[in-house]
Amino acid sequence: MSYSTQTQAKAEAGEAAGKEFLAFTLGQEEYGIDILRVQEIRGYEPVTRIANAPDFIKGVVNLRGIIVPVVDMRIKFSLGTPTYDQFTVVIILNIAGRVMGMVVDSVSDVTTLSPGQVKPAPEMGTIFDSDYLIGLGTLSERMLILVDIDKLMSSSEMGLIEKIAA
Amino acid sequence: MTIDMSQFYQVFFDEADELLAEMEKLLLALDVSTPDSEDLNAIFRAAHSIKGGAATFAFNDITEVTHMLESLLDRIRKGEMALTSEHVEAFLVSKDILVMQMDGHHHGSSVDQDAVGSVCQRLKALSQGMLPETTDAVASPAPAPESVPEPARAEAAPIADADGNFHFRIELPEVPQRDVDALATELGLLGTISQEGLADKRVVFTLITSEGQDSIVAICSFVLDPDDLKITHGGAEGSPQAAAETSAEPEHADAKPSAEDPGYGIFEPENTGAASAPAVTAEVAKAEPAAEAKNFGRRASDKEGTSQESSSIRVGIEKVDQLINLVGELVITQAMIEQRIGVLDPIHHERLLNSVGQLTRNTRDLQEAVMSIRMMPMDYVFSRFPRMVRDLAGKLGKKVDFVTRGAATELDKGLIERIVDPLTHLVRNSVDHGIEMPEKRRAGGKSETGRLTLSAAHQGGNIVIEVSDDGGGLNRDRILAKAKQQGLDVSDTMPNADVWQLIFAPGFSTAEVVTDVSGRGVGMDVVKRNIAAMGGTVDIRSVPGAGTTIAISLPLTLAILDGMSVKVGEEVYILPLGYVIESLQPAAADVKEIAGQGKVVKIREEYLPLIPLYRIFDIEPGFTDPTQGIVVILEADGKKAALLVDSLVGQQQVVVKNLESNFRKVAGISGATILGDGGVSLILDVSALLRSSRQLNADPVFF
């Protein structure tokens, strides 16, 4: 299942005819993810810690009856000291039927990027492995680093999903 | 075909499955020498219903087998033929064939046509072998149900021609040509069909078929109201015999006089007045009561059918699960409200508090009622064993009485389905290894017939299922010898209970001969593993020469469990109450350090390993000293241990949520639940904790 969405995501990235991206910031950088993977955006609530999990996995929360893991991207990618207050934002993602939360510094807006505005990602320069990048989105003054969120979240590096469709 | 019939397939398969199971149950319960006519009728009805359904969906192979089955049964229940064990055997085999055919249609699995053919032969031989004048009785379709008096049925039954075919005249109400064509195609599958138009644009089919009228009605009912349909039986062409009029609504019968097709000898009771000769009227008079009696019978049976249908509905399991989830949410929300109002002044807010109290009770009732939807009686599982035991015992030349107790005990549907395989294994084992051959039993001073008991009963929050035989019991010496041979760690002084547990070791079998029934030694370990996966335990009691009892203890449901919440540092975990024996604060003298091995706690003359939860889960604890905290004594897989926690919070029912649906498996955690305050609490996997405690000291990190 996740495999098919990945290939689908790739195919979409190829055409990307005026796709919408949700822009958020981590540290000094601005990122974009496919809006269709975003289920909702919430404030940060206290989580239940999961023993012996890597520290970027904050724990699990109750999202209207379902148990959802929450990862903190700031810890994962070592971007400053993560703080948790009423302004901390959690993006709830729905990837291949799995729901997960992602803590980021802030969410700015939703932007539409035409294929012409998406440039291939350079081989260096961002904290994300370029495997997980779709490209760079240019929008007048701004530059969005477009992340292949499906691939990133289902990667073994994140350890969120056990052995993808082996 | 104009209607997509496939949408009804599932219903047919479900119903046929139930009917076949019912049929088998009745067949096995049948006393061959003095069969209960009610049972015979029930078996007949089951076969008949399957036939009707199969014909509707054009599963002709199923129709064929059920038809023969039905004919034979019909003769037996009418007393034309005596029931023999041969018959029962043949019926059971044909049931298996039907299951196979059904699977063939349903899942596309392969159907052994040779077996089908041989069963048909067998049934044919049985129905012909006994009485010579079988042709028309064999071909005779289902007569009316039992409420019809015998003579009336005899008269109303249609007459077959020499080939065992019937001639039906089917008068349709006014329907579009498209439907007429569709019906003609469908009915054409049953036999030879011809079609003619009537003056008022209605259509009449003439069908020559070996099928019963019910099949025709069943097919037509997809297009039009069967009540508008007029089906009349004709004898063989040119036969002088009158046929009975069986339209359910006689007032529709006035449509056309029978003059147009006199060859079929059809008489229209309402219309005979002017047209017919007095002699014909006399015949009509004779036919009418029969037709009425039959109509009456049909109505009565329709009514019975309706009341059965309305007493249960089929609902997808996802819908039930969704309902259970929602109710789970409601319970949590309700608990939240209760917590919030706990701080209010009881005198000031008396009415609010009363209302909330009411809400609490209603919520609990609702939760219980919803949970009971998922519950199914154990009979669902038990009912498949009598047949298996019978066949097995026959194959092995043993005599076994099979007894079930507590078949009404209810268990969660999910568990019911998963218990089937382990139970099958245990029952097979008992018949094969447990119960001895008749001679050996006689020599041992027991009755030749062994006794195998399958029972289910509630015990607290668990259901206990026991497979019990009065056979030879487990052989301690042989198990020990075998264990040594396999290099297992055993000693001659082991307590019996430990010896018995050895048979759950992988690849362990003490059977001297490997049969196709059992003895390969794969199985008991699988049984144990499956049951452990369901959160259950297996216990063996055995007395040499007197028998063996294997007791499976399972939680009633997987969705809700009784939990004890414990606190370590700031974190709250849930312990499934089923594993908890007691909790206490040990005295300093009872806690002993074993050099390099961690601590043990002496409780009731037993030394139990101490598992500090804070160490396993890397929590900042309130207390590290067992004498300040609380130890909870846990038991799983026959092993005990003391779990050190800071304090006990309380005891509550929790709705188990799967952690893996959005995350992955976490070692030491079996699931999660949502607490009254909306927060998440993790449920501890006690078996895993106890297992890990053995390696804990070597490797303090859990992963």
What is the distance between the alpha carbons of residues A113 and A124, in angstroms, rounded to a whole number? 22
Q: Cα B250 vs. chain centroid, distance in angstroms?
A: 42
Q: Please name the residues in contact with B153: beta carbons below 8 A apart, sequence gap of 6 or more.
A: B143, B144, B294, B297
Q: Cα A51 vs. chain centroid, distance in angstroms?
A: 24
What is the distance between the alpha carbons of residues A162 and B582, in angstroms, rounded to a whole number? 36
Sign of the C-alpha dihedral computed for residues B603, B608, B613 and B614 taken in this order: positive
What are the 10-residue block averages of pLDDT along chain B, 703 residues in total?
Answer: 64 80 81 78 80 78 81 78 80 83 79 80 74 39 41 43 63 69 70 70 71 67 65 51 42 43 46 44 45 44 46 80 82 80 86 90 86 82 87 86 86 83 86 85 86 83 84 81 78 80 72 47 73 81 85 75 87 88 88 80 87 86 85 83 89 79 81 82 86 54 39
Query: At residue A43, what are phi and psi to the nearest 5 degrees?
Result: -80, 165
Residue A88 counted as domain residue: yes
pLDDT of residue B149: 41
Chain A residues inside the 8 Å CB shell of B329: 64-65
CB spacing of A100 vs B659 below 8 angstroms? no
Chain A residues inside the 8 Å CB shell of B701: 52
What is the distance between the alpha carbons of residues A129 and A115, in angstroms, rounded to a whole number? 22
pLDDT of residue B624: 82
Sign of the C-alpha dihedral computed for residues B617, B623, B626 and B628 taken in this order: negative
- CATH 3.30.70 segments of chain B: 153-276
What is the distance between the alpha carbons of residues B575 and B630, in angstroms, rounded to a whole number? 14
What is the distance between the alpha carbons of residues A20 and A139, in angstroms, rounded to a whole number? 13
CB spacing of B702 vs A51 below 8 angstroms? yes
DSSP label of B270: G
**Which residue among A50, A59, A67 places its CB closest to the CB of B662?**
A67
pLDDT of residue A101: 93
- Mind telling me how many Å the CA of B333 is from chain A's nearest CA? 10
Q: Please name the residues in contact with B530: beta carbons below 8 A apart, sequence gap of 6 or more.
A: B418, B421, B422
pLDDT of residue A60: 92
CB spacing of A48 vs B682 below 8 angstroms? yes
The candidate with the shortest Cα–Cα distance to B259, out of B272, B246, B250, B249, is B272
The CATH number of the domain covering residues in B317-374 = 1.10.287
Q: Cα B700 vs. chain centroid, distance in angstroms?
A: 46
CB spacing of B703 vs A161 below 8 angstroms? no
Determine the residue type at B696.
L
Chain B residues inside the 8 Å CB shell of A159: 664
What is the distance between the alpha carbons of residues B696 and B699, in angstroms, rounded to a whole number? 5
Task: Give the residues across from B375 on adjacent strands.
Answer: B412
CATH class as words, domain B377-555: alpha beta
**Which residue among A48, A53, A99 places its CB closest to the CB of B680?**
A48
Would you call A51 an interface residue with chain B, using a CB distance cutoff of 8 Å? yes
ipTM value of the model?
0.78
Query: At residue B159, what are phi and psi to the nearest 5 degrees?
Result: -105, 130
- CATH 1.20.120.160 segments of chain B: 6-140
**Which residue among B616, B664, B667 places its CB closest to the CB of A161?**
B664
Residue A59 counted as domain residue: yes
Helices (H) and strands (E) in chain B, counts: 22, 22
The candidate with the shortest Cα–Cα distance to A123, out of A138, A133, A111, A109, is A133
Task: Kindly report the pTM of this predicted structure.
Answer: 0.47
Mutate to test the interface with B, among A67, A94, A156, A163 (most CBs of B within 10 A): A67
- Mind telling me how many Å the CA of B325 is from chain A's nearest CA? 8
pLDDT of residue B218: 66
Chain A residues inside the 8 Å CB shell of B659: 60, 67
Residue A77 counted as domain residue: yes
CB spacing of A51 vs B668 below 8 angstroms? yes
Strands B462-469 and A38-43 come out as unpaired
- The CATH architecture to which B6-140 belongs is Up-down Bundle (1.20)
CB spacing of A48 vs B681 below 8 angstroms? yes
- Mind telling me how many Å the CA of B107 is from chain A's nearest CA? 24
pLDDT of residue B522: 52
Would you call A1 an interface residue with chain B, using a CB distance cutoff of 8 Å? no
Chain B residues inside the 8 Å CB shell of A156: none
CATH class as words, domain B560-696: mainly beta
Please give the residue of chain A at the shortest CA–CA distance from B676: A62
Q: Which of residues 54-83 of A touch B (CB under 8 A)?
A: 59-62, 64-69
Number of Cβ pairs < 8 A linking chain A and chain B: 74
pLDDT of residue B290: 44
Are the C-beta atoms of residues B431 and B398 closer than 8 Å to each other? Answer: yes
pLDDT tens digits, A46-87 = 899 888 888 889 999 988 778 899 999 888 888 767 888 888
- Mind telling me how many Å the CA of A97 is from chain B's nearest CA? 8
Task: Give the residues across from A102 on adjacent strands.
Answer: A71, A91
Are the C-beta atoms of residues B657 and B550 closer than 8 Å to each other? Answer: no
Q: Cα B488 vs. chain centroid, distance in angstroms?
A: 39
CB spacing of A98 vs B703 below 8 angstroms? no
- Mind telling me how many Å the CA of B570 is from chain A's nearest CA? 10
Strands B580-584 and B591-594 come out as unpaired
Q: Where are the beta strands (DSSP E) in B613-691?
A: 630-636, 639-645, 647-655, 669-674, 680-684
Q: Which domain holds residue A56?
A: 2-153
- Mind telling me how many Å the CA of A99 is from chain B's nearest CA? 6
Chain B residues inside the 8 Å CB shell of A58: none
Chain B residues inside the 8 Å CB shell of A98: 661-662
Q: Please name the residues in contact with A118: beta carbons below 8 A apart, sequence gap of 6 or more.
A: A13, A16, A134, A135, A136, A137, A146
Tokens linked to B616: 């396993």
What is the distance between the alpha carbons of residues B279 and B79, in angstroms, rounded to a whole number? 35
Q: Please tell me whether residue A39 adopts helix, strand or coil conformation.
A: strand
pLDDT-flagged residues of chain A (< 70): 1-17, 80, 123-130, 161-166
Mutate to test the interface with A, among B568, B662, B692 (most CBs of A within 10 A): B662
Q: What order do you get walking across the sheet with B647-655 strand by strand? A: B647-655, B560-568, B571-576, B680-684, B669-674
Chain A residues inside the 8 Å CB shell of B571: 48-49
Tokens linked to B543: 């007395």
Please give the residue of chain B at the shortest CA–CA distance from A95: B662
Are the C-beta atoms of residues B408 and B377 closer than 8 Å to each other? Answer: yes
CB spacing of B329 vs A46 below 8 angstroms? no
Are the C-beta atoms of residues B575 and B684 closer than 8 Å to each other? Answer: yes
User: For residue B65, with 0-12 CB atoms within 10 Å meaning exposed, 13-18 middle and 19 or more buried, which class applies?
Assistant: buried
Residue A165 counted as domain residue: no
Residue A161 counted as domain residue: no
B293-325 burial, b if ≥16 CB within 10 A, otherwise e? Answer: bbbebbeebeeeeeeeeeeeeeeeeeeeeebbb
Q: Please name the residues in contact with B672: beta carbons below 8 A apart, sequence gap of 6 or more.
A: A48, A60, A67, B656, B657, B658, B659, B680, B681, B682, B683
The candidate with the shortest Cα–Cα distance to B568, out of B616, B619, B528, is B619
The candidate with the shortest Cα–Cα distance to B479, out of B503, B496, B495, is B503
Report the half-sphere exposure of B245 (CA within 13 A, side-chain side).
27
- Mind telling me how many Å the CA of A141 is from chain B's nearest CA? 38
CB spacing of B702 vs A52 below 8 angstroms? yes
CB spacing of B668 vs A60 below 8 angstroms? no
Query: At residue B635, what are phi and psi to the nearest 5 degrees?
Result: -135, 130
Question: Which residues of B lie inside 8 Å of A (Cβ-Cβ)?
Answer: 325, 328-329, 332, 571, 616-619, 657-669, 672, 674, 678-682, 701-703
User: For residue B590, with 0-12 CB atoms within 10 Å meaning exposed, 13-18 middle and 19 or more buried, which class applies?
Assistant: middle
- Mind telling me how many Å the CA of B172 is from chain A's nearest CA? 52
Q: How far is CA A140 from CA A117, A119, B370, in A?
A: 10, 14, 57
Q: Please tell me whether residue B466 adopts helix, strand or coil conformation.
A: strand
The candidate with the shortest Cα–Cα distance to B473, out of B514, B439, B521, B510, is B510
Q: Where are the beta strands (DSSP E) in B527-596?
A: 537-543, 547-555, 560-568, 571-576, 580-584, 591-594
Q: Please tell me whether residue B171 adopts helix, strand or coil conformation.
A: strand
Q: Please tell me whether residue B607 adopts helix, strand or coil conformation.
A: strand
Continuous H helices in B144-277:
150-156, 177-188, 213-220, 272-275
CB spacing of A51 vs B701 below 8 angstroms? no
CB spacing of A51 vs B665 below 8 angstroms? no
CB spacing of B661 vs A98 below 8 angstroms? yes
Residue keyed to tokens 């008992």: B430
Indicate which CATH number applies to the domain containing A21: 2.40.50.180
DSSP label of B141: -
Q: Please name the residues in contact with B250: beta carbons below 8 A apart, sequence gap of 6 or more.
A: B269, B270, B295
Residue keyed to tokens 């039009």: B224
- CATH 2.40.50.180 segments of chain B: 560-696
Torsion of CA B638, B641, B645, B650, to 10 degrees: 30
H or E segment to which residue B448 belongs:
none
Sign of the C-alpha dihedral computed for residues B638, B642, B645 and B651 taken in this order: positive
Report the half-sphere exposure of A110 (CA within 13 A, side-chain side).
10
**Which residue among B328, B332, B679 places its CB closest to the CB of A46?**
B679
Q: Please tell me whether residue B518 adopts helix, strand or coil conformation.
A: coil
CB spacing of A65 vs B674 below 8 angstroms? yes
Residue A78 counted as domain residue: yes
CB spacing of B680 vs A60 below 8 angstroms? yes
Report the half-sphere exposure of B327 (CA within 13 A, side-chain side).
21
Would you call A96 an interface residue with chain B, using a CB distance cutoff of 8 Å? no
Task: Give the residues across from B410 on adjacent strands.
Answer: B377
Q: Which of residues 125-164 of A touch B (CB under 8 A)?
A: 159-162
Q: Cα B646 vs. chain centroid, distance in angstroms?
A: 46
Number of compact structural domains in chain A:
1
**Which residue among A51, A61, A162 places its CB closest to the CB of B664?**
A162
Would you call A99 an interface residue with chain B, using a CB distance cutoff of 8 Å? yes
Are the C-beta atoms of residues B500 and B540 closer than 8 Å to each other? Answer: yes
Are the C-beta atoms of residues B202 and B172 closer than 8 Å to each other? Answer: yes
DSSP label of B49: H
The CATH number of the domain covering residues in B153-276 = 3.30.70
